[in-house]
């Protein structure tokens, strides 16, 4: 009994509350982690198409009146993975975005050739250089002729605002491509 009084005299109520809170946080994180992982498994699997034929993508862009969003990426690029996982893949899962844009990827470090908008072969490195994609990730919005429709996104300046920058580039591009295609139909 004197030992219990001794402990009660040494342990204050604040320590007990703090210890209880810490225990609650630890137990919550342990038991909620599998739930989070299970929710990720519920999302439909999507892949970003690595394009090797821009002429085909251009025909699709013209037919559907959608801009082509190209992500210039490299293997092992953490920010490229951020753009893909946090922005582009969710866009591929959302019908509203699928109605607005064609999403493609060009790997700048694979040294493969791609078929350009005019049907000629060009190295992925030269194609990337044309659009100033010396930094990865770089995102460009192009029309069916390969002309940039809005400001490109070089790197990731701020993870909090990246989605807004992406949406703004998409909206500007969508307006421009539809205006361009409408003026071509009038002629």
Pairing between β-strand 102-107 and β-strand 68-73 as defined by DSSP bridges: parallel
Looking at the structure, do residues 22 and 58 belong to the same domain, yes or no?
no
Looking at the structure, do residues 7 and 74 belong to the same domain, yes or no?
no
* Mean pLDDT score across all residues of the chain: 82
Q: For residue 55, what is the domain's CATH number?
A: 3.40.30.10
Looking at the structure, do residues 139 and 165 belong to the same domain, yes or no?
yes
Mean pLDDT (whole number) for 40-53: 84
Residue-number span of the structural domain to which 176 is assigned = 49-186
**Using omega within 30 degrees of 0 as the cis cutoff, is the peptide bond preceding 137 cis?**
yes
- For residue 111, what pLDDT is reported? 81
What is the C-alpha separation between 69 and 101, in angstroms, rounded? Answer: 7
Looking at the structure, do residues 150 and 79 belong to the same domain, yes or no?
yes
Looking at the structure, do residues 127 and 170 belong to the same domain, yes or no?
yes
Q: Which pair of tokens denotes residue 53?
A: 């034929």
Looking at the structure, do residues 157 and 92 belong to the same domain, yes or no?
yes
What is the C-alpha separation between 72 and 88, in angstroms, rounded? Answer: 12
Looking at the structure, do residues 91 and 159 belong to the same domain, yes or no?
yes
Better-scored residue on pLDDT, 110 or 13: 110
- For residue 186, what pLDDT is reported? 64
Tell me: the pLDDT tens digits for 60-103? 999 999 999 999 999 999 999 999 999 999 999 999 998 999 99
Q: Is the pLDDT of residue 172 over 60?
A: yes
Tell me: the pLDDT tens digits for 113-164? 999 999 999 999 999 999 999 999 999 999 999 999 999 999 999 889 999 9
What is the C-alpha separation between 163 and 67, in angstroms, rounded? Answer: 17
Looking at the structure, do residues 30 and 102 belong to the same domain, yes or no?
no
């Amino acid at each position: 009994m004197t030992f219990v009084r001794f402990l009660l005299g040494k342990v204050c109520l604040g320590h007990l509350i703090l210890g209880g809170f810490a225990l609650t946080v630890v137990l919550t994180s342990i038991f909620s982690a599998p739930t989070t992982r299970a929710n990720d498994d519920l999302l439909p699997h999507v892949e970003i198409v690595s394009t090797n034929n821009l002429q085909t993508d251009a025909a699709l862009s013209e037919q559907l009146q959608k801009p082509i969003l190209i992500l210039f990426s490299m293997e092992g690029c953490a920010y490229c993975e951020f753009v893909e996982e946090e922005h582009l893949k969710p866009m591929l899962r959302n019908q509203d975005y699928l109605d607005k844009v064609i999403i493609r990827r060009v790997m700048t470090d694979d040294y493969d050739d791609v078929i350009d908008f005019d049907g000629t072969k060009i190295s992925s490195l030269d194609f990337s250089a044309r659009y100033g994609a010396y930094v990865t990730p770089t995102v460009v919005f192009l029309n069916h002729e390969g002309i940039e429709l809005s400001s490109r996104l070089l790197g990731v300046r701020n993870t909090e605002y990246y989605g807004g920058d992406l949406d703004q580039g998409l909206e500007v591009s969508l307006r421009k491509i539809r205006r361009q295609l409408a003026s071509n139909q009038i002629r």
